[in-house]
């Protein structure tokens, strides 16, 4: 028997500018508990809007969204957002607040005691592999881009959410940092038993990290499936998105033969 999805978008629509921009157009998409889903699409395809609808930063015009079987419109948006971790593209850290205060912001809002927050912050810094003593008191501008995103992940996990939504979390990082963070986050997803929806414009990153990939274009969900299933899609845009990783794989196979010295 199929288990009920943890996140279920059903015929969701959202327009802006009095209906002139159809940002999300009749999207139906299920995310299973424990799944890592990547949403891939070009700029303006509706990815961020879809994510913001899930934790009610904005409300849908049509259709419905359910989290653990419960319609999000029936849930208080503030408590909903505390149950769902959110990682922003730029890190979204408060610039005048220390790393510890940024990471502890949600527990502080919930009224957790200072001592408890302090030990939770240490635990979270360990989790995202930032040396406690070195990083606790730093301000965001004293961090590298990768370290800022690690703090953003720690903050998203602070209230022990089951669901984490990530909006192009590693997009602005250099390839090596990005690769390391992606792998580290995927390991956290597995150990903590999270359900993750990650937006990326990079199909290679999506294929390497996610269990399933959803492709968006002009607000429409064009295709979804495991990488091998996407590969069977006859949609020309999906084919176009897959061309780059395929070509990279072929060239790397030639340039870095498996039986080489390294
Ligand atoms: N608050 C808003 N007001 C007006 N238009 C918006 C708003 N948010 C998004 N849009 C428009 O909706 C479309 C989808 O945007 P977005 O979801 O941010 O795309 P993506 O994240 O894929 O780049 C774009 O045309 C964007 O300009
Ligand atoms: Mg976006």
Please, how many CA atoms are within 13 Å of residue 163, restricted to the half-sphere of its CB?
Answer: 21
Nearest CA to ligand 1 atom 27: 44
What's the average model confidence in pLDDT over 23-30? 98
pLDDT of 260 > 80? The answer is: no
Cβ–Cβ < 8 Å for 169, 89: yes
pLDDT at 261 (0 to 100): 58
pLDDT at 10 (0 to 100): 98
3-state secondary structure of 21: strand
pLDDT at 175 (0 to 100): 84
pLDDT at 184 (0 to 100): 94
Cβ–Cβ < 8 Å for 149, 157: no
Centre of ligand 2 to C-alpha 76, Å, is 25
Q: Provide the whole-model pTM.
A: 0.93
28: phi then psi, degrees, rounded to nearest 5: -120, 120
What's the average model confidence in pLDDT over 204-215? 95
pLDDT at 252 (0 to 100): 87
Cβ of 23 closer than 6 Å to ligand 1, yes or no, is yes
Residue 90 pLDDT grade (very low, low, confident, very high; cuts 50, 70, 90): confident
Question: Ligand 1, from 44, 51, 86, 220: best to mutate by most atoms within 8 Å of Cβ?
Answer: 44
Q: Which residue has the higher pLDDT, 191 or 232?
A: 191
Centre of ligand 2 to C-alpha 236, Å, is 22
pLDDT of 4 > 60? The answer is: yes
50 vs 55: CA distance, rounded Å: 9
**100-144 confidence digits (pLDDT tens):** 999 999 888 888 899 999 999 999 999 999 999 999 999 999 999
Residue 249 pLDDT grade (very low, low, confident, very high; cuts 50, 70, 90): confident
What's the average model confidence in pLDDT over 162-191? 92
Ligand number nearest CA of 52 is: 1
pLDDT at 153 (0 to 100): 96
pLDDT at 169 (0 to 100): 93
Cβ of 19 closer than 6 Å to ligand 1, yes or no, is no
Cβ of 42 closer than 6 Å to ligand 1, yes or no, is no
pLDDT at 257 (0 to 100): 78
């Amino acid at each position: 028997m199929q288990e009920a999805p943890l996140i279920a978008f059903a015929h969701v629509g959202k327009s802006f500018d009095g209906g002139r921009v159809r940002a999300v157009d009749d999207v139906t998409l299920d995310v299973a508990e424990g799944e890592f889903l990547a949403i891939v699409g070009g700029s303006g395809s509706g990815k961020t809007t879809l994510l913001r609808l899930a934790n009610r930063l904005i409300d849908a015009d049509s259709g419905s969204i359910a989290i653990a079987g419960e319609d999000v419109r029936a849930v208080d948006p503030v408590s909903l957002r505390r149950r769902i971790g959110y990682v922003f593209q730029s890190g979204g850290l408060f610039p005048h607040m220390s790393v510890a205060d940024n990471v502890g912001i949600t527990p502080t809002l919930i009224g957790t005691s200072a001592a408890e927050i302090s030990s939770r912050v240490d635990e979270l810094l360990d989790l995202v592999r930032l040396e406690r003593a070195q990083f606790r008191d730093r301000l965001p501008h004293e961090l590298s881009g990768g370290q800022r995103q690690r703090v953003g992940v720690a903050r998203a996990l602070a209230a022990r959410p089951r669901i984490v939504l990530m909006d192009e979390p590693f997009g602005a990082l250099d390839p090596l940092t990005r690769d390391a963070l992606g792998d580290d986050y995927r390991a956290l997803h597995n150990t903590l038993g999270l359900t993750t929806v990650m937006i990326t414009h990079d199909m290679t990153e999506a294929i390497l990290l996610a269990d399933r990939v959803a492709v968006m274009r002009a607000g429409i969900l064009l295709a979804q499936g495991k990488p091998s299933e996407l590969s069977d899609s006859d949609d020309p845009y999906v084919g176009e998105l897959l061309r780059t990783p395929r070509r990279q794989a072929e060239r790397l196979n030639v340039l870095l033969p498996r039986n080489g010295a390294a």
